[in-house]
Amino acid sequence: MNGGASSGLLSSSTATIIAGIFGFLGGVFSRVGKHWYEKRIKRVKFRRAILTEIKSPRSTINDIENQSASDVVEFTHAVFPNKIYNEQIENVGLLSSAEVGQVVDYYTIAEVADEQLDALAEEENGVDADHFMNETIPNLKDARYDAEKILQYHTKFLGKFRYKLRRGICGDFLIG
């Protein structure tokens, strides 16, 4: 009887191998899941930080835009912030390609605007206040708006979707 009963079960060496494979796969999946989760959290934090930095000069840009070219010298002290972007440049790759394009465009134009404001403050002949007012500021405003819009979309849409899904799943369990 012992021979017949043990023939239907896996041998101990086969069971050990299968358990080892499942253990290995569980370790791999948990490691990959942890890496994915940490990368996602890093992306969310970076996206929010960049969004905050891009939003901060909104009033300055609008104030400059409402001035005449002769009054722009008053704003030569204005600086378009880029500290987070410069310190976290290696994290730009965490964003989607559409986000990267908009964010890089904004910061490129903001750097040009800073250089032009410095030149205007020093009254260098190479920078024309009319060009600054008619070209750089509208381009900067558009680039800031586009970058802010796409970052907000990714932040809000994914956030709302995630919370709606969790509320739907958890709410059903809590209510039912």
Residue 1, pLDDT > 50, answer no
Instruction: Please give the average per-residue pLDDT across 92-113, as a whole number.
Output: 93
Residue 169, pLDDT > 50, answer yes
pLDDT tier, 175 (very low <50, low <70, confident <90, very high otherwise): very low
pLDDT tier, 176 (very low <50, low <70, confident <90, very high otherwise): very low
Residues 6-55: pLDDT tens digits? 555 678 888 899 999 999 999 999 999 999 999 999 999 999 999 999 99
- Yes or no: say if 123 and 112 are a contact pair by the CB < 8 Å rule: no
Residues 42-101: pLDDT tens digits? 999 999 999 999 999 888 888 888 887 777 777 767 778 999 999 999 999 999 999 999
Of the listed ranges 8-17, 122-131, 146-155, the least confidently predicted one is: 122-131
- Dihedral over alpha carbons 150, 51, 114, 71 (to 10 degrees): 90
Residue 8 confidence (pLDDT): 52
Domains of the chain, first to last? 9-175 (1.20.120)
Task: Fill in the DSSP letter of residue 6.
Answer: H
- How many residues are recorded in the chain? 176
Element (H, E) at 175: helix 137-175
Q: Tokens representing 139?
A: 């381009």
- Yes or no: say if 61 and 140 are a contact pair by the CB < 8 Å rule: yes
Give Cα separations from 111 to 60, 62, 157, 174 (angstroms). 15, 17, 30, 52
